[in-house]
Chains A and B, each alone.
Chain A
Amino acid sequence: MASEVEETLKRIQTHKGVIGIIIVNSEGIPIKTTLDNSTTVQYAGLITQLADKARSTVRDIDPTNDLTFLRIRSKKHEIMVAPDKEYLLIVIQNPSG
């Protein structure tokens, strides 16, 4: 089972433009990452905060609603965040290749 996870991670990682993947748990502790330590910790902390804020925003507007996907497009990168109750999957991509 773990090998499937590895397989999928490798596939995503080798996709055109993907810079890195980070999986964090709900506390923001990185569980798996393809980036270096310092960058991982930085992203983990910041993105967890942002995802939490986004989720609370969505739920404040409508309590029955919930956050399913978060995508941050910047000039240089695109950060995709797939949240869950327990974990967070963060993928950083350079969309222009």
Chain B
Amino acid sequence: MADRRAELERKKQKLAMIREEKERRKREREAKESEDVPMRVTRPDKDLRTETEELLSSLGIPLGSEGSVTRSLNATPDTSLSPIPDQSLSSTQSGTGPVKSLRKQPKLSVVSVHQANIPPKESVTYNKQTQTASTTVDREAHPLDYYIIHWDEEWDDEFQVEEEGEGCSLPSKNLESPSIYPRHNTPHKVAGLPKVEMVRPASAAEGDTPMTPGHTEQQKEEKIKVDLSEEEKQQIMMSEEFHIFFGKASRIVERALYEDLDICVDYTGTGEEQEGDDKSGIRLLLNRCFTDDRWSKNRTITSFDWSAQFPELLVASYNNNEDVPHDPDGVCLIWNMKFKKTTPEHIFHCQSPVMAACFAKFHPNLILGGTYSGQIVLWDNRSNKRTPVQRSPLSASAHTHPVYCVQVVGTQNAHNLISISTDGKFCTWSLDMLSAPQDTMELTHQKQSRAVAVTSLSFPYGEFNNFVVGSEEGSVYTACRHGSKAGVMDMFEAHQGPVTGVDTHRAQGHIDFSHLFLTSSIDWTVKLWSLKDTKPLYSFEDNGDYVYDVSWSPIHPALFACVDGMGRLDVWNLTNDTELPTASLVVDGSPALNRVVWTPTGHQVVVGDDAGKIWIYDVGEQLASPKSNEWSVFMHTLQELQNNQVDQDLDVLTSLSSSIFSSPSTGIR
């Protein structure tokens, strides 16, 4: 910097010198021109000359020749007479002039000329007249409209000043240009200062609200950079309350998203055909499929249950996924049938495969699960966690074998959780305390000392005490919880293989069929029983593979569904045909179907397979809905069945007896 300054000074001096030389030459020329003229005038000036010479000599400048001095002096008489402040200038001029022409170059000393360049102070002015930048979008002249503030780098300073003004509505200009971000170059570039329009004073009385949103919003924009850094945003996103908010909000939004009802559809243009009437004729139609890639893939569905409070909520429990050992073994998903979203409402998991799950009937937020390890787990959908909020201990007092049946029985005020494991242990729990069961019981059949390995459980409708269980040996037992004969009561020699499903009749009508129950088994059959009789009423043998589950329709007394290992779903209508299922289909891809339930409405069947998919089928109206005389008709059917059975038995007996007499009897079933 010092060098530059020195250089500048040197240059200035050179310039000054050049200027002086130029002027000197000019003066010389002029002097030569006017040489003749002032010749006579010089006389009276001689005094002046002497004066000046004296002055010059006093200043220490050597005098040049008389002639040139006079000439130059004459040429510039004014300058020599100029007042003292200019003396130096003139003297140097005049001095150097003659000096140069007559003598050798004088010693020129460098005179440092300090030049100070002070820029004028920028005055920030506000024009309160209407001003618009010329390149902005043309608006009609509304002189008393609103603030239009264009901001550039200096906007924040200006903005503070403007606070007394009225609200800043975001003008449409800024909307058209997508950026209202201060740093971006707005297309209408305003140089430096913001321009402000006159504000309608009356509406200022509206108060803060017109002002604050835009006002604070712009400040916020500034704040965005200042306040919320990436880390802060991350922190917010990690916070608990954010997760709570997000859980709720995302569920609502997902449901809204999946609703693709176009309320604005225009019917006048299109000629939409009416839905075919044969829809009702179709017995079983695939409605939808629930599956979750992350959580339900490759996991067998082990149980279903419906929520009592919200009949559209279905809980499905899943086995483990062998392909992904690091994922939690037990998963429980809650699906919502009402909305079209394809993701579960809630996702729960635990460390051990969940074999049975149910909603706590009288507590809408609790979901209970019985696991392979024998633990009972409790999830709460109010908590943000996906892991159980309560777990029963792994102790000898509780279960030590896989729990295949859990159910909540009782009334609102007096209810218990019941769980049965495959070692025959029957535990009663209180929902508040899962640390120890309230009551335990061993289900052992009197005749055999072995315990019953229970695989399925069903309480008849309206019963809290007596229940039916199916076992691994293929027998079905009735038992009761309390009373003098607590424990197993009757045994039905049901099947030749483990019983996979037991279901008691549920459809309520004027005739009570609650003594009826169905059992399904690995032996390819489904059998219909009555509690009153140890012999089966009927055996359905249409299946060609293990029958994994059976379920009565909740509304139709003669309707039930069963599923087997080949992917077949059968819906039987007993009044229609007892030999063959009335409707049957094979699920896409033929997976082994593990579970089947009806929806509480009775018009849909929910099937779970071993790949983690839940298939929902619509059952045709004609098939699903019972007619008013359905119960009596079914009664007749039952009678017939019983009669047939009796006849069969008689036949068997007679053939037996005849064969005894005639020939060695072969095994007759």
Q: Decide if A and B are genuine partners.
A: yes
Residues of A contacting B213 in the complex (Cβ-Cβ under 8 angstroms): 45, 48-49, 52
Contact partner of A82 (CB less than 8 A), chosen from B179, B180, B238, B252, is B252
Distance between Cα atoms of A69 and B427 in the complex (Å): 45
Within the complex, the shortest CB–CB distance from B296 to chain A, in Å, comes to 15
Closest to B227 in A: A29
On chain A, which size bracket covers the interface? 35 or more
Any A CB within 8 A of the CB of B18 = no
Residues of A contacting B108 in the complex (Cβ-Cβ under 8 angstroms): none
Within the complex, the shortest CB–CB distance from A18 to chain B, in Å, comes to 7
Any A CB within 8 A of the CB of B250 = yes
The digit string for A64-91, where 1 denotes a CB below 8 A from any CB of B, is 0000110101000000101010110101
Residues of B contacting A80 in the complex (Cβ-Cβ under 8 angstroms): 253, 256-257
Within the complex, the shortest CB–CB distance from A3 to chain B, in Å, comes to 11
Given contacts A12-B257, A87-B245, contact A95 B262 (CB under 8 A): yes
Residues of A contacting B242 in the complex (Cβ-Cβ under 8 angstroms): 5, 86-87
Distance between Cα atoms of A30 and B294 in the complex (Å): 29
Given contacts A12-B257, A38-B181, contact A73 B227 (CB under 8 A): no
A31 and B257 within 8 A (CB)? no
Main secondary structure of the interface of B (DSSP, over half): helix
Any B CB within 8 A of the CB of A32 = yes
Residues of B contacting A11 in the complex (Cβ-Cβ under 8 angstroms): 254, 343
Any A CB within 8 A of the CB of B43 = no
Contact partner of B220 (CB less than 8 A), chosen from A27, A68, A69, A95, is A27
Any A CB within 8 A of the CB of B585 = no
Any B CB within 8 A of the CB of A39 = yes
Within the complex, the shortest CB–CB distance from B535 to chain A, in Å, comes to 54
Given contacts A38-B180, A84-B249, A91-B257, contact A29 B237 (CB under 8 A): no
B260 and A5 within 8 A (CB)? no
Distance between Cα atoms of A79 and B217 in the complex (Å): 20
Within the complex, the shortest CB–CB distance from A30 to chain B, in Å, comes to 8
A12-45 contacts to B (CB < 8 Å): 12, 15, 18, 23, 25, 27-32, 37-39, 41-42, 45
Distance between Cα atoms of A29 and B241 in the complex (Å): 17
Contact partner of B237 (CB less than 8 A), chosen from A5, A15, A18, A42, is A5
Closest to A36 in B: B178
B254 and A12 within 8 A (CB)? yes
Distance between Cα atoms of A28 and B180 in the complex (Å): 15
Given contacts A12-B257, A42-B180, A80-B257, contact A69 B262 (CB under 8 A): no
Contact partner of A29 (CB less than 8 A), chosen from B178, B224, B234, B248, is B224
Within the complex, the shortest CB–CB distance from A67 to chain B, in Å, comes to 12
Closest to A21 in B: B253
Any A CB within 8 A of the CB of B223 = yes
Closest to A23 in B: B246
Given contacts A31-B236, A86-B245, A89-B250, contact A38 B184 (CB under 8 A): yes
Residues of A contacting B245 in the complex (Cβ-Cβ under 8 angstroms): 84, 86-87, 89
Closest to B217 in A: A45
Contact partner of A32 (CB less than 8 A), chosen from B237, B254, B263, is B237
Counting chain A CB atoms within 10 Å of each CB, the highest count among B214, B216, B233, B241 belongs to B233
Distance between Cα atoms of A12 and B255 in the complex (Å): 10
Closest to B264 in A: A73
Closest to A30 in B: B224
Counting chain A CB atoms within 10 Å of each CB, the highest count among B223, B224, B343 belongs to B224
B178 and A42 within 8 A (CB)? yes
Closest to B181 in A: A38
Sort A-B residue pairs by CB-CB distance and give the 9 closest, nearest first: A82-B249, A89-B249, A84-B245, A38-B179, A45-B217, A49-B213, A87-B245, A8-B250, A38-B178
Q: Beyond the given A37-B181, A48-B217, could you list 10 further A-B residue pairs with CB under 8 A, ordered by the A residue number?
A: A2-B237, A8-B246, A11-B254, A12-B254, A23-B246, A29-B228, A45-B214, A84-B249, A87-B245, A87-B246
